[in-house]
Amino acid sequence: MNYTYMIKCSDGSLYTGWTNNLEKRIDAHNSGNGAKYTKARLPVTLVYYEKFATKEEAMKREYAIKHLSRAQKLKLIKADTAQ
């Protein structure tokens, strides 16, 4: 399984990425080994994710989410948590 995910950083910013092991990736971010961007904004919290069968689908969705406005990203997160 492949995942596209969003995490909320300690400064309130959102980071989007993709992985094939969601739990391990979040742990990597929180240990400072996930991404340069999140390293200075710890801790991070998983706020949204989607599952995909292929790496290519997850990467395509990551690209699409990264091009959304902050308001659109927050709306996506809110809609997901309302279910």
* Full set of structural domains in the chain with CATH: 2-81 (3.40.1440.10)
Rounded Cα–Cα distance for residues 2 and 56 (Å): 9
83 pLDDT more than 80: no
Summarised one tens digit per residue, pLDDT across range 14-69 is: 999 999 999 999 999 999 999 999 999 999 999 999 999 999 999 999 999 999 99
Q: What is the pLDDT of residue 80?
A: 79
Q: What is the pLDDT of residue 81?
A: 74
Q: What is the tally of helices (H) and strands (E) in the chain? A: 4, 3
* pTM score of the predicted model: 0.93
Residue 3, CB half-sphere, CA atoms under 13 Å: how many?
16
Q: If DSSP codes are grouped into helix, strand and coil, which group holds residue 17?
A: strand
Q: What is the pLDDT of residue 82?
A: 65
